[in-house]
Amino acid sequence: MHNHFNGLKTALLFGAIWALFLALGAVIGNGRYIWLFALFGLATTFYSYWNSDKLAIRAMRAQPVTREQQPTMYKIVEELSATAGKPMPRLYVSPTAAPNAFATGRNPDNAAVCCTEGILHILDERELRGVLGHELMHVYNRDILTSSVAAGIAGVITSVAQMMFFFGGTNRNNGGNPIAMIAMALLAPFAATVIQLAISRTREFDADEDGAELTGDPLALASALRKLEAGTARAPLAPEPAVVNASHMMIANPFRARDAGRMFATHPPMAARIERLERMADSRQPGIERY
């Protein structure tokens, strides 16, 4: 596993989130309620941390599976976990035809990996191994905790900013600056979204690379990503709120592409990910040891 300086990235991104959160508190009532925003932020962070696995699993209506129910999936995850020397996560399958997979959980000891029925139908065993290696590295790099908590905080910031716009922006009796409030109400959702997406997009590249090192087969993941790109285009998920909140955890963007969606996509372009994996395969020498 390579050092992608995830600790430093996480600290910087969370610092930006908290700065934005406290800025919202400072604008309302000339800072009189900043402590409420701080406490609210702590409570939201703790809730997202403790329930990160349950929220995503529930959103996809996934069910736990055993070795007897999914022998191939179970065998692959068991072998890769042993290779990495890490705990084996719980396994789930979501009853949806949209091909995708995701990992969730607050730490490697409390993690889960979920595949949809769609992905299990379109990938062969080698490609599925590449996908599961990617998801396991999300768990072992502790990416899931960071992205889950960031998503929770970003959602709260957006909600509070919208409340400011509708209820606080025109109130001149609260001691605040209406223009500043309106500006924050417009900018806060944008900034929170950019922060959340920056976390997701960076982590996807890292998990691709580390997952390929874990399996020793970058081209297997590249092949899987090609199939997933075509599969999600044929069978996109409906953008329901619960699914939207979990979409940044999935290996492929589950929604229908939009002309203006590239800037706000939770995933890097699939072509860029495949190209990096192919370059990685070209650079590998015979006999190189796995992660």
**d(C-alpha 3, C-alpha 82), whole Å:** 20
Q: Measure Cα distances from 220 to 43, 59, 124, 270 in Å.
A: 41, 28, 10, 14
Beta strand 110-116 pairing with 63-64: unpaired
Q: Which of 127, 135, 213, 229 is catalytic?
A: 135
**Does residue 135 carry a catalytic annotation?**
yes
Tell me whether residue 104 is exposed, middle or buried, using C-beta atoms within 10 angstroms of its C-beta: 0 to 12, 13 to 18, 19 or more.
Answer: buried
Q: In this structure, are residues 70 and 90 in contact, taking their beta carbons and an 8 Å threshold?
A: no
Beta strand 101-107 pairing with 110-116: antiparallel
Tell me whether residue 198 is exposed, middle or buried, using C-beta atoms within 10 angstroms of its C-beta: 0 to 12, 13 to 18, 19 or more.
Answer: middle
Q: In this structure, are residues 89 and 103 in contact, taking their beta carbons and an 8 Å threshold?
A: yes
**d(C-alpha 83, C-alpha 92), whole Å:** 21
- Neighbouring residues of 182: CB distance < 8 A, sequence distance ≥ 6: 164, 165, 169
Helix (H) or strand (E) holding 94: strand 90-94
Helix (H) or strand (E) holding 106: strand 101-107
Instruction: Take residue 111 and report the two structure tokens written for it.
Output: 């993690």
**d(C-alpha 291, C-alpha 20), whole Å:** 38
**d(C-alpha 24, C-alpha 118), whole Å:** 42
Instruction: Take residue 211 and report the two structure tokens written for it.
Output: 């997952």
**Which residues are part of the catalytic machinery?**
135
